[in-house]
Amino acid sequence: MRKTSLWEKDKYRFLIPTVLVCALLVSFPFVYMLYTSTQYWIALRPERSFAGLGNYRSVLLSTEFRQSLLTTVIFVISSVAGSIVLGFALALVLNEKFRGRNVIRALLTIPAIIPPAAAGFTWKFLLNRDVGLIGGFFLPLLGVKRALLGDPGWALFSVILADVWCQTPLMFLILLAGLQAIPMELFDAARIDGAGFGQVLVRIIIPLLKRVLGLAVIIRFIFAFTTFDVIFTMTGGGPGIATQTLPLLGWKTGFLYYDLGQAAALAVVMLLITVFFSSTLVRMVKL
């Protein structure tokens, strides 16, 4: 019992900062976001009034929302799938032991930790028709001479490519960490039994990595769903609204049209979608 009393001492004094941090940093933004979403509220104007679910109705029924939702679905699915597949392949290759492995690993990490805005610029520059290595040199060699970011379909493809470029390293590092936790003996045993790499991959690696893969997908989903920087820097949502995903729509609504109520409502809707998908995924892979 001596131990308990010793532990109980000071307990509350130490929890005070925690409670404060939570109250101030987490509850406040959430509560305020919910509150704002129920108000007709244009920033810079003093008057505001209770809207009930009015903002939600306006957001969900607008054609721009539906268009952006579709763009977001295409963006999220392609970007998540692309970066997971590439990251997994990289992890398998770099799980081998060879000289220079650590240097390659570090070099591969760079695109993930540069500012996403700089990554967006990098690709915009690369694809530019006048000065870009791809848009100005490689594509004309193949007979393609067009402004990729000016064409709706190609622009969406380009922002997905840039996002995959930024996000693959993280998936690679997460999956590599997962791979390294698999005991070597399992592979040796499989090898002795005459299993080829394809069989090992399907029968051993993927089942054992299920949990890590699930986690990678959840993290990647949340990131892709809330991606703003890369798209904003590359196209600003354009041409037209061809690359306008939900976060860009939210930014436009809140800070270009100053409709804080509708922006908050959209944020709440997005949060609900995120929570729904994450918890479904968690249950599916039994994290």
Q: Identify residues 88-107 at the interface with another protein (CB under 8 A).
A: 89-90, 92-96, 102, 104-107
| Chain residues 133-172 in contact with another protein, contact rule CB under 8 A | 133, 136-137, 140, 165, 168-170
Q: Which of 284, 253, 286, 283 is nearest to 268 (CA)?
A: 253
Question: Given the complex with another protein, which of 154 and 262 has the nearer CB atom?
Answer: 262
| Cα gap 142→127, rounded to integer Å | 14
Give me the 173-192 binding string for another protein, x by CB under 8 A, dash otherwise.
Answer: xx--xx-----x--x-----
β-strand partners of 41: 48
- Residue in 1, 4, 17, 153 binding another protein, rule: CB under 8 A: 17
Q: Which of 79, 80, 82, 73 is nearest to 246 (CA)?
A: 73
Question: Given the complex with another protein, which of 3 and 61 has the nearer CB atom?
Answer: 3
- Residue in 208, 219, 241, 285 binding another protein, rule: CB under 8 A: 219
- Residue in 1, 4, 10, 286 binding another protein, rule: CB under 8 A: 10
| Cα gap 196→199, rounded to integer Å | 5
Closest distance of CB 124 from another protein, Å: 6
Residue 286, SS3 per DSSP: coil
Q: Work out whether 67 is an interface residue with another protein (CB under 8 A).
A: no
- Please count the helices (runs of H) and the strands (runs of E) in the chain: 16, 2
β-strand partners of 212: none
Q: Work out whether 61 is an interface residue with another protein (CB under 8 A).
A: no
| Cα gap 163→86, rounded to integer Å | 13
Q: Work out whether 281 is an interface residue with another protein (CB under 8 A).
A: no
| Cα gap 49→99, rounded to integer Å | 66
Cβ atoms within 10 Å, residue 82 = 19
- Residue in 62, 81, 210, 278 binding another protein, rule: CB under 8 A: 278
Closest distance of CB 200 from another protein, Å: 7
- Residue in 1, 11, 194, 286 binding another protein, rule: CB under 8 A: 11
